[in-house]
Structure 1
Amino acid sequence: PAKGFSQSFQLSARGYLSTWPASGQPILVDHKPCCAPEERQPSNKRVPLTIPKPQYLEQLESYLKKELQTLDLTKTSSQELKLQPYREIFEFFINDFKTYKPLLSAIKNEYEATLAHQKKMIHALKTMAMTVSEESTQQVVALQEKERDEINVLKQEKQHLLKCIDNIKEEKASLQTQVEHLQASVAKEYTRYLNESEARKLLLAKLNAMYSEQLDAKHHQVQGIKGDDMVKLTLALKVAQQDLAKAQTKLNAVITDYTDAVPRSDFESLQQNYSDLLQEMKTLQKDFDQLHKEHEALLKIHRETAEERDILCSELQRAQHNYTPRPDWAKCSEVVPGGAARWDHLAKGKTSDQLVDVLLEEIGTAVLREREIFPGQGKDEQVPVYLRHKGDVRNKHLTKKDVVTIVKDVWKEKIALDQQ
């Protein structure tokens, strides 16, 4: 070990390494542990002995303090950053104490392995916690969704039940009103029936009394009639028979007169149908009148159109009679070389006069092509210079290409002569 540390450590009597005290320890002066107690002097004094820190320890503490001050302990991994200076101090301590280096290194490695194992376990636990948290979150969300759906269903059922309750309450109130109305009606009917029953009873009593009185009166009348004259009864019977015959005759006359009569309801129904049909007939009559007017207008237009047609037909016939008929130009394709295709090309977009010129030109060209010899025009002054010739001129049957070539050569020679 270093020299400073050699002063801070002392071997005890048993051979162990004693630590340097953190503060001064009281040491007995002239203390003799092996002497007897009676030989000890009572005037012994405890004198505190202050031992200064070793220089190496002060250096390590200073280094540790400086490293800790430079760290940013506000971060999440501040504990690991704080542990690093202590590791470095422990490394210095192990390297300086060669004798205890293997043991201290083993202790340090074991602590490091334990810390690494704990970190792995913490990381695994964090991962597991995150997984469990996600699963629990998903389960909570699923449960919330399920509960939300169930809550929505329950809310809908609640709304439906509330509506049903309101409907039942309204129906109950309506039924209660009807019951009250029926109770009042029943009470009125009961009162009326009770009054009628009492009235019937009184009426029956009166009828019985009247019937008794009639029986008594009849009995007395029969007894009185027996004594009257039978002639009066015979006359009364004849008068009654005559009245009956008159009434029967009148009834038969009424039946005969009103045989064809109809009930008033049927009459009113038929009258309503008649009114509807009459209104419909008036509407149809208006439509018919309108259509009749339109038909008359169309007939007038048709007559005017027919007159115009007749006038145009007569003018057409007059024009056909007066005008010269157009020739059939398609027949010219038989005469023109090249057939119908060439004639259609030549006749396209030309008038009759132009077609006559084209036809004459084609006929003349054909005649010229058929001739082998042309008579000369002579050498008179009236004949152009380039046409002066005596005798016959042979037809060379030049093609268009040959003529174009000759014309070009002539123009070249003329230009050359003009330049000279």
Structure 2
Amino acid sequence: MPAQRKPQLLKQLESYVHKELQIISSSEPQFQEQRLQVYQDAFGCFIKEFKTYQPLLSAIKREYENTIAYQQDQIRELEPLRSHVRSVTEECERKVQARWEEERSEIGALKTEKHQLQRVIEAMKEKETATQAVVERLQSDLSAQYLQYREQRDARQLLIWQINDLTRGSVEEEHPADGNSDTRDPVQLQLSLKVCRRDLTTAQEELTRMKAEYWDLVPRRNWDALEQTHQQNLSKVESDHLSDLIDSESPEKSTLTVQEFRMALRTAFPLKSDEEINELVTSAQSDPDGSDDSISSQRLHSLLAESVEAGPPALEESEGQAAENPVQATD
């Protein structure tokens, strides 16, 4: 626009902006903010001159200023993060570089070690091949030597047998009368010894088993002796008891009831069973002096006298009872 046609307000604003911008140095830390402030002041003067558009222009200016302030706040908040990101980035790059240097040195060392191990493996393979060849050769030598030893042993054993046969033949020729001498084969003697030892072991096991099974039993002769002594003592006690009963019977009482006769028999013969007692009672009732309700006391005296005269039971009876009873001792 030509200078002669510019309004007075425009000239003043341009002069103000130009003068203020000349004052601001570009080396200052807030150079951009100062330039923005100059233009804001010029725009404020422009708004004041136009009363009609002042509300709208003021709102536009205020919105721009708020946006700029918000952006500046965001920049201030992000500035420490940017510096932190920069420092972290530098630190990571430094660590990556150091790690790469370490890994490169480790890779070099591992490659060197790998080459060394490969050389060692090759040497061990060669050594293993040589060792295997030596082992095979030694095995063949050992097999051949074993065959020689076995043949030598067989020949020696055969020679020993021949010498034994010759010695036995010469002894028999020199001493033909000694036919009863023990000239058995040593191998046969060893076999006989093994059999004897096995039989001895079997006998010892059987003896141990017998002791374990029959430790609570007594010998038969001891049992027979004890049984005979018991029978004799029992017979003696019974005889004494019968004698007492015979002596204690009242001669005045000539008859007994069946119940009294039965009780007297039980007292006199405690070893008899109920069947035997009933037989004696029936036999007494069948006598001429007896009846169904009463029995003569003479019959009881005769039974008691017969029992006393009979004496103790014979040894054969006690042995028969002992054979029927077990010989096991009671605890």
The TM-score, its normalising length taken from structure 1, stands at 0.26
Higher relative CO (Cα under 8 Å, sequence separation at least 6) belongs to 2
Q: Which has the larger radius of gyration?
A: 1
TM-score in terms of structure 2 length: 0.32
Determine which structure has the larger helix proportion and give its number. 2
